[in-house]
Amino acid sequence: MFKVSRELFGYCILVLASVGLASCNNLSSPVFGSQTHDSLGNKVDESVLLRPRLHDKWDSLRRNLIVFTVDSLNPVSIKVQKQKLKDSLRREYDKMPKHIYLTFDDGPLVGSKAIDSLAKSKNIKVNAFVVGRHATFGKYRQRDLAQFLENPLVAVYNHSYTHGFNRLTTFYRDSQVAFDDFKKNESTITMSSKVARLPGRNIWMYDDERKIDVANATPTADLLYKDGYKIFGWDVEWRIVSQTGVPTLPLETVYNRLVNFMNNKSSKEPNNVVFLMHDDMFQTKAGAKLLNDLVDKLIAQGYRFEFMEDYPIRY
């Protein structure tokens, strides 16, 4: 009984929650370039860079808050009433904008250029979780990172400097060393905001939310969180074989997963989906075309493309 009431309370809180607006916190000491979302290039449509605002329709929704009373003497009906509440909330959420966060990990790599071009050609916001060491792999990787930093449609975030040289169990064994690796990345690249993703770990720490998949990275995440970082994992992932451009999941399947997640009644952050991809997926024309086609479908669906520092956009 108590459990049900708590859940219901949670849903009511969802209704009452207001939009969270995160600020842009530029860091100093740029080496590879500088970036600000406020300074617009000639080709960018300014309207897409407007920060999320409280949706007009929500004012009327707030005025007509869904009133829900629990009949504690009749526990059978609680389940029915709870379902009705969920359904009515989902109907309200369906009237509101839906937000997708395209996130690309491990750049700059071969394939980063396609992501930069996509953001410009579709005029959508994207998120790059970068690994500073990869920018030392030659002038083209330096160019790729510089393009990210110069493009106001690309938010650049911290994915560590070395990616633990892909030996992640060792990397997370000493949390101070791992934390210092993130700080090295931060001091090397002018990030858009203090937002991080841990290599190989689907860990979330933001506001009062905390979700851990593999415990050995928790001390590292805690240090970053205490340092002021928001840490984000992902909801849905897509992989494409980098050399061939062949996806491990057909486009239709991953598209349906995104739509289903967006419409999930019990989603922790309704109407918000974080989508994980990797830069090296788009080094072939076939891979880049798949990404283009998927984005076209999402645009047709009316989704809004957002920066991670604004997650979650609530109503």
**Given the rule CB under 5 A, which residues bind Zn ion?**
105-106, 199
In the complex, what is the shortest distance from the CB of residue 307 to Zn ion, in angstroms, rounded to a whole number? 19
In the bound state with Zn ion, the residue whose beta carbon lies nearer, of 106 and 310, is: 106
Which CB atom, from 120 or from 133, has the smaller least distance to Zn ion? 133
- Altogether, the residues listed in the chain come to a count of 315
Residue closer to Zn ion (CB basis): 199 or 233: 199
Tokens 């920066």 — which residue?
Answer: 307
The minimum distance between CB 280 and Zn ion, in angstroms, equals 10
Instruction: Transcribe 10-77 into DSSP letters.
Output: HHHHHHHPPPP-PPP---S--SS----SSS--TTS-GGGGSPP---HHHHHHHHTPPP----TT-HHH
Q: Which is nearer to Zn ion, 105 or 186 (CB)?
A: 105
For the CB of residue 200, give the shortest distance to Zn ion in the complex, in Å: 6
In the complex, the smallest distance separating the C-beta of residue 4 from Zn ion, rounded to whole angstroms, is: 40
Nearer residue to Zn ion within complex by CB, 106 or 237: 106
CA–CA dist 242, 198 (Å, integer): 22
d(CA 181, CA 295): 33
Contact of 163 with 106, CB cutoff 8 Å: yes
Residue nearest to Zn ion (CB): 105
Residues 214, 133: Cα–Cα separation, whole Å = 24
Other Cβ atoms within 10 Å of 278 Cβ, number: 19
User: What is the smallest separation between the CB atom of 106 and Zn ion, expressed in angstroms?
Assistant: 4
Burial of 71 (0-12, 13-18, 19+ CB in 10 A): exposed
**Considering the complex, what minimum distance in angstroms separates the CB of residue 159 from Zn ion?**
6
CA atoms of 228 and 43, how far apart (whole Å) = 33
The amino acid sitting at 54 is L
Alpha-carbon gap, residue 19 to 274, rounded angstroms:
17
Closer Cβ to Zn ion, 199 or 312, answer by number: 199
Between residues 85 and 115, which has the closer beta carbon with respect to Zn ion? 115
Number of neighbouring beta carbons within 10 Å of residue 66: 14
Smallest distance from Zn ion to CB 199, Å: 4
